[in-house]
């Protein structure tokens, strides 16, 4: 009974507010459209601080608060974005080894399992939605092949293999891709030398590079890559060049909602996590508020549409951010709001931006005064920045400001706490209680009428299974050749194309090679018979 009390109280709260909660997948309302928004690495205190920073009134996301989510991996209590994203996207936990869209080597913590075999690819909700004829979209403020967006659109045994991940994204037939990472699609930056920009053009995508081009776009298939790598923090953003997260979200909804079968959209505020790693309060509040604006855009659409599920959540905590630090240990109750807010309010740029300026030659004291309004730098603080470059310099800047605002950080890494869950479903329902990260994919699948396990069977037949049917295989590099009777076909890793007796055909999904075994859509066997 004690364990049920928080859920019962939360349920009573929602009923009292006129909102109708539900507690199991069988009662999930159907939704034609689903939008999942992830603020990567956003600890709960960041929302609290951002609310105060904005003036203290409710944020748009507040009305959606409905529960909490556990974030652990299959084999470790503190999650990396790759396995955390995999859990959110597929309904199965993965490994601390930073797998993307594949099963773990071992499942030892709660709510984890290996239903087929270790390192086998598993279908995500985007792929399953695509099988239903729905439109799909992926948005990120990092490189689009970064861990979280990749977990909803690709499969690999390492998040670091940008070549494989980006090639799969190109051939996943995703309708809208918006974010950063342009250079990783160019032959000059790729180890494999492939020109994926030309490939995307040949596949019918419009390639756009600026915010203005996004505003004026009127087509149905678009790849918007607004930076060579990651996008700027919202506070550093050049509006005519790079769109805001809310702008990208609204545009994607406009495009995807043309499909009368519905759509699935994943949106990530990637650099909340990056700011947390750097202990940078400016970047944290900047991109958290940008994320809240994106959530509002999704929520406004859902309320008007009344056939859309919106889920907003983070994949894991990061940095142990707190409003209050060791300097407030004895007098925290006497501290005025201004002492926590004003030092950060005076900042005009992120720590990342300031670090680049100092590294380019700007004087440390003058830079900190110009961008952070700090004119009382101690010699110790100056020395803590002097001579540093790259991440070492970037990570040293934020704490100088944080100390003046009495903001605390316990680590430069991820943390293992439960995170807030925000939901909105048709008829104003909610997902309540403490759920597991795998339950996100399960709820999305239930709402859209998807069976993820059946999607996995359809999209990822293993080479072992096809051999049992009498097919012979030979591989050379990225190409697998299949022989059955008098028929010969070839498929290529990371692509959705098969050539059967010289005829080119399109598959339902991409071909995956996990460095030991090939996996491909089951329709390949039908084509060979």
pLDDT, averaged in runs of 10, over the chain (529 residues): 39 44 64 98 97 97 97 97 98 96 97 97 98 98 98 98 98 98 98 98 98 97 98 96 98 98 98 98 98 98 97 98 98 97 98 98 98 97 97 98 98 98 93 95 96 97 95 96 94 97 95 97 93
Model pLDDT, residue 28: 75
Give the residue from 127, 95, 209 showing the smallest Cα distance to 454.
Answer: 127
Identify the pLDDT of residue 9: 43
Q: Which secondary-structure segment (H or E) carries 267?
A: strand 263-269
- Residue partners of 111: CB distance under 8 A and separation at least 6: 70, 93, 436, 438
- Check residue 450 and give its pLDDT: 93
223 φ, ψ (degrees, to nearest 5): -120, 110
pTM of the predicted protein model: 0.95
Q: Which of 43, 81, 135, 153 is catalytic?
A: 81
CA–CA dist 356, 54 (Å, integer): 27
Query: Which residue in 357, 419, 348 sits closest to 385, CA to CA?
Result: 357
Q: What does the pLDDT read at residue 25?
A: 65
Output the six-digit token pair for 16.
């009292």
Give the per-residue pLDDT at 17.
Answer: 45
Q: Which residues are CB-neighbours of 18 under 8 A, at least 6 positions away?
A: 428
User: What dihedral do alpha carbons 82, 84, 85, 90 form, nearest 10°?
Assistant: 120
Known catalytic residue at 81: yes
What's the pLDDT score for residue 372? 98
The span from the CA of 518 to the CA of 493, in Å, is: 8
Return the pLDDT at 22: 46
Please report how many Cα atoms fall inside a 13 Å half-sphere around the Cα of residue 172, on the Cβ side: 34
DSSP SS3 for 311: strand
Q: What are the distances in angstroms from CA 96 to CA 125, 160, 351?
A: 22, 13, 29
Residues contacting 199, CB < 8 A, separation 6+: 170
């Amino acid at each position: 009974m004690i364990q049920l009390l928080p859920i019962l109280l939360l349920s009573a709260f929602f009923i009292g507010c006129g909102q109708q909660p539900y507690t199991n997948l069988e009662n999930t309302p159907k939704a034609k459209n689903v939008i999942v928004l992830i603020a990567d690495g956003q600890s709960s205190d960041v929302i609290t601080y951002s609310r105060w920073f904005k003036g203290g009134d409710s944020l748009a996301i507040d009305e959606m608060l409905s529960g909490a989510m556990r974030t652990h991996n299959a084999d470790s209590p503190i999650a990396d974005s790759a396995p955390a994203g995999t859990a959110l996207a597929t309904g199965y936990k993965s490994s601390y080894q930073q797998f993307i869209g594949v099963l773990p080597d071992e499942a030892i913590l709660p709510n984890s399992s290996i239903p087929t075999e270790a390192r086998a690819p598993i279908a995500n909700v985007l792929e399953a939605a695509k099988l239903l004829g729905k439109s799909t979209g992926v948005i990120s403020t990092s490189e689009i092949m970064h861990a979280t967006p990749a977990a909803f659109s690709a499969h690999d045994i390492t998040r670091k293999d940008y070549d494989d991940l980006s090639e799969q994204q190109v051939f996943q037939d995703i309708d809208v891709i918006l974010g950063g990472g342009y250079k990783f699609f160019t032959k000059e930056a790729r180890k494999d030398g492939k020109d994926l920009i030309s490939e995307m053009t040949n596949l019918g995508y419009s390639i756009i590079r600026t915010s203005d081009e996004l505003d004026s776009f009127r087509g149905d298939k678009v790849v918007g890559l607004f930076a060579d790598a990651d996008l700027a923090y919202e506070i550093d953003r050049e509006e005519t060049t790079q769109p805001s997260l809310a702008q990208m979200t609204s545009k994607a909804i406009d495009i995807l909602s043309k499909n009368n079968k519905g759509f699935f959209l994943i949106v990530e505020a990637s650099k909340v996590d990056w700011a947390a790693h750097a202990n940078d309060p400016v970047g944290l509040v900047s991109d958290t508020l940008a994320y809240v604006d994106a959530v509002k855009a999704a929520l406004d659409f859902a309320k008007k549409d009344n056939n859309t599920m919106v889920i907003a959540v983070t994949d894991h905590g990061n940095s142990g951010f707190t409003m209050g630090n060791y300097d407030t240990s004895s007098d925290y109750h006497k501290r005025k709001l201004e002492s926590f807010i004003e030092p950060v309010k005076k900042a005009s740029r992120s720590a990342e931006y300031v670090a680049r300026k100092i590294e380019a030659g700007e004087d440390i004291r003058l830079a900190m005064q110009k961008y952070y309004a700090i004119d009382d730098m101690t010699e110790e603080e100056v020395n803590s920045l002097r001579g540093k470059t790259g991440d070492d310099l970037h990570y040293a800047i934020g704490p100088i400001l944080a100390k003046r605002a009495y903001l605390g950080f316990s680590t430069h890494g991820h943390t293992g706490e439960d995170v807030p869950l925000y939901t909105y479903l048709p008829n104003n329902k909610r997902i309540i209680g403490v759920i597991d990260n795998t339950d996100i994919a399960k709820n999305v699948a239930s709402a859209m009428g998807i069976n993820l396990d059946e999607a996995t069977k359809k999209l990822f037949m293993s080479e072992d299974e096809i051999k049992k049917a009498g097919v012979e295989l030979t591989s050379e590099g990225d190409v697998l050749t299949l022989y059955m009777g008098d028929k010969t076909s070839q498929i290529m890793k990371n692509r959705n194309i098969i050539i059967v007796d010289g005829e080119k055909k399109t598959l339902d999904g991409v071909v995956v090679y996990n460095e030991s075994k090939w996996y491909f859509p089951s329709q390949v066997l039908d084509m060979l018979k």
